Amino acid sequence: MNSKTIGLALLAAAVMAPSTALAYPKVSICHKSGGNSYHVIKVSQNAVPAHLAHGDVVAGVYYADTDGDGFGSHCGATSVCPGPGFVANSDDCNDADVSVSPISLEVCGDGADNNCNYEMDEACDVCPCFVSDDIDEAWAAFQQEAGQTNEAVCTDEVFFDPEAVSGYEYVQVVFQRQSYNYPLYEYDYWNFYSINWDDSSEEVYCETTQGSYVQNYETAEASGVNDAYSQPLTDAEHASCVALLRDWSSANGLTCE
């Protein structure tokens, strides 16, 4: 075989061999067909940018947003294309309640995960609302003090200041511990909920106080400490706190008078 024959054979082989250099994989595209409707087509990968520029989207998984809050649920129906009632995320933990979503605020004391972070009533262990574990631990600590009189007091009162916007009914759970060993009288307390009106800021505050008081009956000397935590009180926070303390009081046999 001469060189001319070999050259012709190589040229023929090159022409007959399949070319893969310009082949692109196919991609599923949700092609917009009018309004908010789509249908799936397959296009070459190099054609995707042009389709996206015209309003098409890449096919994927879109989740049903039943309550219309912009967040879908992985428990509901899915679609390969967007459309009315479907979104690209599955972050909703309760797709039947528009008030529950990752951008919602947690409501203290309602026993629900309002902001979809898989926690219930988080950051509610400070005034004005307390989780029941905090109250139980404080109550147990008072009961464990040997040789002293421990008592839980529940009072149901109405607070109203003429300058305040509104009156507030509240439940006040107070743990108090007393001991009398002459000449000393000792009194410890933990007031879980009280209300304070601040004239300077014209705000209503929730306040919890913990303190102690000691008096010597021979010398008439007295001393005490009082630690208070307070913060502005909203109507919703107040209502949640009242409901929580009512439940705790009832469960522990305390009657608010």
pLDDT tens string 108-159: 667 788 889 888 766 554 555 666 677 788 777 777 765 677 788 888 777 7
Q: Is residue 184 scored above 50 in pLDDT?
A: yes
Q: What is the 3-state secondary structure of the chain?
A: CCHHHHHHHHHHHHHHCCCCCCCCCEEEEEEEEECCEEEEEEEEHHHHHHHHHCCCEECCCEEECCCCCCCCECCCCEECCCECCEECCCECCCCCCCCCCCCCCCCCCCCCCCCCCCCCCCCCCCCCCCCHHHHHHHHHHHHCCCCCEEEEEEEEEEECCCCCCCCEEEEEEEEEEEEEECCEEEEEEEEEEEEEEECCCCEEEEEEEEEEEEEECCCCCEEEEEEEEEEECCHHHHHHHHHHHHHHHHHCCCCCC
The verdict on pTM exceeding 0.85 is no
Closest CA to 109 of 123, 96, 99, 98: 123
Which band of pLDDT confidence, cut at 50, 70 and 90, is reported for residue 7?
A: very low
Q: Is residue 65 scored above 90 in pLDDT?
A: yes
Which band of pLDDT confidence, cut at 50, 70 and 90, is reported for residue 11?
A: very low
pLDDT at 92: 93
**Apex 168 CA angle, 164 and 170, nearest 5:** 150
Pairwise CA distance, residues 206 & 194, whole Å: 6
Residue 108, token pair as written in the block? 């203290």
Distances in whole angstroms, Cα of residue 9 to Cα of each of 4, 15, 20, 52, 93: 9, 10, 21, 46, 68
Closest CA to 69 of 90, 48, 97: 97
Closest CA to 63 of 92, 34, 39, 105: 92
